Amino acid sequence: MEKMFFGMSVDDVALRHWSTVENFRRLVKFLSEEKAPAAFFVVPVDEETDKPFNEAFPEYVPAIREAHAKGFCFAQHGLRHNRFEFGIPPDMILDLPHEAENKRYAAENRAKLAAEHTPANLVPRLRQGREILEKALGFAIEGFRAPALQESPGMFEALALEDYKFDSSACLQETGWDYLLGRAEVPPREITRERWLALRKKSAVPILPLTCDYTWYLSEENFNRMFELAKHDYLACREASVPFVTVCHVDPVWNGCGIRLLSSLFAFARRDALEKGYELVFETLDKIVRQKE
C-alpha cells in the first residue's frame, strides 16, 4: 500500500511574546489526542535578556522533556529569532504588518547582510544555539528551521558542515501569506514534485519544505478560505508523492479558530486515505526524513 506522510510542526517555542508554556502544554495535549506527533522548533536564546531559553524561561525545560518522552521531536529555531541572523526572509513575510521595521532594514542592508552570511560566521551561531538546547534538554538536536523562513547559501552550507539531519526552512505555498495580507483573489500555487525537488537542491542537508501556516490568528471569516487552501495543498502533496508538512505557532494557533482548522484537516486527511486506500502516517520530521524516498 502506498504511504503518505503528514508532518505537523510548531514554531516559536520559548519565543518571548509569542509563546507561553501553558499554550505549549495545551498544544502537546491536543496533538497527542489527535495522534499527530509533531516537530517543535525551539528558540535557543531570549533576545531581550540575551539569556539561554532555559534561564529566561526555565518552565519550558520539564514541559519539553515530557513531550520528548512521548515521542515529539524537538529541533532548533535559529539562535535569537532575529530576522537576519542566518539569512534574509522572503518578501511575503517582510510584507506582514508586524514586519514593517524589518522590511525597511532589509531594503537598506541587503548587500551588507549577504556578505555577512558566510559559513564561517554562521557555523558558530548554529553551534551556540544547538549546544544550549542539547545541554538544557539532555538529548540530541538534529533539525533546523530558520526564523521567518530566512535563508542564505551560507546557511545551507553551514547546516551541512555541522551535520544537521534535516532542515525545514523552505516553503511551497506562498498563497497562505497572500491571504494573511488580504489578497484573497490570489490562486493557490501549484505544488509539484519538481518544485519540491528543486527546493531540496538548495542544501546537502535534506530539506523538508512546508506548505504554509493555515492557523495564524485565524478568524471565523477566513476559516473556509484557509481550510480550502489546506485541503488543496494536502491533496497536491499526495498527488506529487511528497510529504505534507505544515506549521502552526504556539500562541497564534490558540488565538482564533486555528485548532479547529487543524482538527478538521487531520480528519480530512484520514478520510481521504480511507476512501482512496493508501496508508496515511502522521510522523515527526526527523523520522520522515529517514524514510527512503
Q: Please report, in angstroms and rounded to a whole number, the separation of the first and last CA atoms in the chain.
A: 15
As a dihedral over the C-alpha atoms of residue 82, residue 201, residue 285, residue 175, rounded to 10 degrees, the angle is: 70
Q: Interface with Zn ion by CB under 5 A: which range of 8-16, 114-122, 155-163, 194-202?
A: 8-16
Per-residue CA distances from 90 to 71, 152, 159, 174 (Å): 32, 11, 19, 10
**Of 205, 79, 211, the residue nearest 146 (C-alpha):** 79
DSSP state of 1: -
Single-letter code of the amino acid located at 42: V
Question: To the nearest whole angstrom, how small is the minimum distance from the Cβ of residue 15 to Zn ion?
Answer: 6
Minimum distance from residue 272 beta carbon to Zn ion (Å): 29
Written as nine digits, the cell of 14 is: 520559548
Stretch that binds Zn ion, among 9-17, 52-60, 186-194, 282-290 (CB under 5 A): 9-17
Please, which residue, 11 or 151, has the CB nearer to Zn ion? 11
Residues 133-192 that bind Zn ion (CB under 5 A): 147
CB of 146 to Zn ion, least distance (A): 8
User: Quick check: 32 and 8 in contact, CB under 8 A?
Assistant: no
The CB-of-85 to Zn ion minimum distance in angstroms stands at: 12
How far apart are CB 107 and Zn ion at their closest, in Å?
21
Q: Single out the segment in contact with Zn ion by CB under 5 A; choices: 11-19, 25-33, 64-72, 279-287.
A: 11-19
**Binding track, positions 244-273, relative to Zn ion; x by CB under 5 A:** ------------------------------
Residue 213 sits in the site that holds Zn ion (CB under 5 A): no
Between 67 and 210, name the residue whose CB sits nearer to Zn ion: 210
Q: What is the C-alpha to C-alpha distance for residues 134 and 75, in angstroms, rounded to an integer?
A: 10
Other Cβ atoms less than 10 A from the Cβ of 202: the count is 17
CB nearer to Zn ion: pick between 5 and 216:
216
Closest approach, Cβ 89 to Zn ion, in A, equals: 10
Tell the smallest beta-carbon distance from residue 16 to Zn ion (Å).
12
Q: Which residues contact 36 (CB under 8 A, 6 or more apart)?
A: 6, 8, 262, 266, 282
Q: Is 44 in the site for Zn ion (CB under 5 A)?
A: no
Judging by beta carbons within 10 Å of its beta carbon (0-12, 13-18, 19+), is residue 162 exposed, middle or buried? middle
Residue 71, all three cell numbers: 515521542
The three cell numbers locating residue 249: 505557532
12 part of the interface to Zn ion, by CB under 5 A: yes
**Smaller CB separation from Zn ion, 97 or 187:** 97
Chain residues in the site for Zn ion (CB under 5 A): 11-12, 147
